[in-house]
A and B are shown apart, each in its own frame.
Chain A
Amino acid sequence: MSPKRLLAVFIARNKEFLRDRSALAWNILFPVLIVGGFAIAFSGESMDVYKVALYQDNGNEQAAGQEFLKTDYIQFIETDDLARAITNVERHQVDMLLDRNTQHYWVNTTSPKGYMLERVLKGTIGNAFTRQEVTGGEIRYVDWLLPGVIGMNMMFSALFGVGYVLVRYRKNGVLKRLKATPLSAVEFLTAQVASRMLLIMSVVVVVYFGTDFFVDFAMFGSYFNLFLIFALGAISLVSLGLLIASRTASEEFAGGILNVVSWPMMFLSGVWFSLEGTATWVQKLALIFPLTHVTSAARAIMIDGASLAQLSGHITALLAMTVAFLLLGAISFKWE
């Protein structure tokens, strides 16, 4: 592999993208508009009902506090994971945690909803339950959404930015002209991946910190880890784009395939809503998409402060997909 040749194509591709003002603006504006839109839409008072987690309750009608469970406009959610439920109270994802077996309840001292529920609890059953306090800032929908939006933008940029451009180059003869030079397919593809990676990661940084300045996202993990996960996600998606565009010279066909791949990913990778409540087969199906792993891992870092070791499953999946896509893409690549 010749670094000089690789660099020549890499620089040309970067210039091409940076000078394509409309594509550049779209790559940055699209995620900013989505994040901004949701930040505004969800900035008012939530219309949701109050949420109370019940720890190992099993619908026991004889247990204490049965009267409280009859209160209207409260959604009661069963849970068997006490630590997780407490974290959810800390993050304002549930407003109260109730353990009727030990007669304890947990509220977040900074949560207005928790305060109201505590008053309702005491008004209904008196002081029979012991209070446990937790603190912590609220995880808003926009905090939860951000990794998904960044991942989705990355997906479109990788698939269409690499896939479509490659097909157009093949169709209009740019690839054929390059084939007539000493440039090898590996050098050409490496330059494409490197160029798109540079672009995607620059956009990720700009979009994250640009929107963070106004929205102030929750971030409990390491920025380095988050960057690494996004980089892994980007390279796997770019590789998928290369694979899709490895042979065809038809923009219509490539566009169809890219849509067939990107739309299910957009809806089944947990970008917009959590997959926790979906059917098991949907959750299993979602694991074949790189975007699922990017979104889940980035969310775990931002919201739960997860370490790389805790995300080893996602990291392994992304690495395996990248290697598979790149190998298949390189083997099946055609200049013409």
Chain B
Amino acid sequence: MPNDTPLLSIEQLSKSFGKLRAVDGISFAIKRGSCVGLLGPNGAGKTTTVEMLEGIKQPGSGTILYKGKPLDADFRQEAGIMFQSTALPDFITAYETLKMFRDLYPRSIPIEQLVQACSLQEFLDRDAKRLSGGQRQRLLLAIALINDPEIVFLDEPTTGLDPQARRNFWKLIREIGGRGKTVVLTTHYMEEAYELCDEILIMDHGKIIAEGTPDSLLAKHFNDVVVQLPAVDLPEDFDSKGMEVLRANGSVEILTSDVNAAIEALMASHVSLKNLKVRQRTLEDLFLELTGKELRDES
């Protein structure tokens, strides 16, 4: 369970690149033992924010306090980092890579323990450049954990993984959280954020536009559900009785707080209910609502 004392306190953090204000005066706190998700479209400023929290980039202005102190050598010892894209030295096996990183820290946990925790057994003696996407991410996670960190930064750790590998990776992240570690996660996957995070920060244009637990955010912004059906099943002259109807990618979504009323309206128009689905609002919907963009938009 998260402890209420903030492990990281961020006040009025800003960073500009030339005329571009990538991060614009954001403030928030990260509790000990919590898993915090940082969400935002590309260019929202989340990677810049995370890199400032990791001590990789210097803030333009504002303060970052770790255990009440500015980031220092202790922080480097106590932080584990998994970058979005990291190459590893060529011609070095997974085991040797772990050994090298272990020796860079004054304190570390036994490699064998990490091998078990991150399921590295099958490729320990394989050159890092010959690993599959999932194996590679597991190795990078093991490197991030090798110094037994108090806080772990995971920047889009499951991007490019197949659904099964992604779910396996979630299990590992839950286990890290289960050991009382604080996790800061950036991700493009709403489902991932919903599954793993205690708290979510949504960023756009360098600012935090929403924050809270996933459920509280959804409850705060939505009081309706989505009735979905194929676009071909819905006549053009369908009378929606004032409900909002969205058409996209061959399907129709009716947004309503009264499912019965929606179904009655459909039946009145003799619409087939064979392929009808009803779903709760998701973080993806919230994201669209707040930013007007798909989370994975390239713009």
Is B100's CB under 8 angstroms from A182's CB?
no
The segment from A169-177, A259-267, A316-324 found at the interface with B is A169-177
Contact B87–A16 (Cβ < 8 Å): no
Cβ B87 vs Cβ A181 within 8 A: no
Q: Which residue of B lies closest to A336 (CB)?
A: B56
Question: Which of A4-38 touch B at CB < 8 Å?
Answer: 4-5, 7-9, 11-13, 15-17, 19-20
On chain A, the number of residues with a Cβ less than 8 Å from chain B's Cβ atoms is 26
Which residues of B lie under 8 Å from residue A1 when comparing CB positions? none
Task: Identify B90's interface contact among A9, A11, A20, A180, CB under 8 A.
Answer: A20
Give A173 to B55 CA distance when docked, in angstroms. Answer: 15
Smallest beta-carbon distance A187→chain B, Å: 9
Q: Contact between A176 and B56 (Cβ–Cβ < 8 Å)? A: yes
The reply to whether the CB of B192 lies closer than 8 angstroms to some CB of chain A is no
For residues 156 through 193 of chain B, which have their beta carbon under 8 Å from a beta carbon of chain A? none
B28 within 8 A of A: no
Among residues of A, the one whose C-beta sits closest to the C-beta of B106 is: A182
Bound state CA distance, A9 and B105, in angstroms? Answer: 12
- In the complex formed, the residue of A with least CB distance to B147 is A181
A15, A169, A181 interface centre (most CB from chain B within 10 Å): A181
Q: How many residues of B are in contact with the other chain, CB < 8 A? A: 28
Whether A12 contacts B89 by the Cβ 8 Å rule is: yes
- The answer on a CB contact under 8 Å between A8 and B87 is no
Residue A183 interfacial (CB < 8 Å) = yes
Of the candidates B76, B81, B87, B96, the one whose C-beta lies within 8 Å of that of A12 is: B96
Given known contacts A12-B96, A173-B83, A181 and B105 CB-to-CB distance under 8 angstroms: yes
Whether, in the assembled complex, B54 has its beta carbon less than 8 Å from a beta carbon of chain A, the answer is: yes
C-alpha spacing A8/B97, complex, angstroms: 10
In this assembly, does B288 line the interface, its C-beta being within 8 Å of a C-beta of chain A?
A: no
Check A20/B77 contact, CB under 8 A, given A173-B86, A182-B105: no
Q: Is A179 an interface residue (CB 8 A)?
A: yes
* Contact among A17, A172, A174, A181 for B104, CB-based, below 8 A: A181
Convert B69-107 into 0s and 1s, putting 1 for each residue whose CB lies closer than 8 angstroms to a CB of A: 000010011010101011111111000110111011110
Interface pair B85/A180, CB less than 8 Å apart:
no
Cross-interface CB contact of A16 among B81, B90, B101, cutoff 8 Å: B90
Cα A21 to Cα B297 in complex, Å, equals 43
Instruction: Write out, one digit per residue, whether chain B residues 19-42 have a CB within 8 A of any chain A CB (1) or not (0).
Output: 000000000000000000000000
Residues on B with C-beta less than 8 A from A13 are 89
A173→B76 CA distance, assembly (Å) = 18
Instruction: Specify which chain B residues have a CB less than 8 angstroms from the CB of A169 in the assembled complex.
Output: 87, 89
Task: Please name all residues of chain B whose beta carbon is closer than 8 Å to the beta carbon of A8 when the two chains form the complex.
Answer: 99-100, 103-104
Identify the closest chain A residue to B55 (Cβ): A180
The chain A residue with its CB closest to the CB of B146 is A181
Q: With the chains together, A195 CA to B97 CA distance in Å?
A: 17
- Complex: how many Å from CA A49 to CA B68? 84
* Cβ-defined contact, A173 with B73, below 8 A: no
Q: Indicate if the CB atoms of B86 and A9 lie closer than 8 Å.
A: no
Are the CB atoms of A172 and B76 closer together than 8 Å?
no
Are the CB atoms of A179 and B89 closer together than 8 Å?
no
In Å, the complex CA distance between A174 and B87 comes to 5
Known interface pairs A174-B87, A177-B83; A15-B96 also in contact (CB < 8 Å)? yes
A79 to chain B, nearest CB (A): 55
Contact present for B73 and A174 (CB under 8 Å): no
B86 touches A5 (CB 8 A): no
Q: Tell which of A12, A19, A20, A174 touches B86, judged by Cβ atoms closer than 8 Å.
A: A174
Q: Who on chain A is nearest to B90 by CB?
A: A16
Evaluate contact between B73 and A182: CB separation under 8 angstroms: yes
On whether A174 and B103 interact (CB within 8 A), knowing A180-B54, A180-B79, the answer reads: no
Cα–Cα distance between A9 and B96 once the two chains are bound (Å): 11
B residues 94-148 near A (Cβ < 8 Å) are 96-97, 99-101, 103-106, 143, 147
Task: Give the CA-CA distance A178 to B89 in the complex, in Å.
Answer: 11
B89 touches A181 (CB 8 A): no
| B contact residues around A178 at 8 Å (CB) | 104
Q: List 26 A-B contacts (CB under 8 A).
A: A5-B104, A8-B99, A8-B100, A8-B103, A9-B100, A11-B100, A12-B89, A12-B92, A13-B89, A15-B96, A169-B89, A172-B86, A172-B87, A173-B85, A173-B86, A173-B87, A174-B86, A174-B89, A176-B83, A177-B86, A177-B88, A180-B79, A182-B76, A182-B105, A182-B106, A336-B56
In the A-B complex, the 9 residue pairs with the smallest Cβ-Cβ separation, listed nearest first, are A8-B103, A172-B87, A19-B91, A181-B104, A180-B81, A12-B100, A173-B86, A16-B91, A177-B86
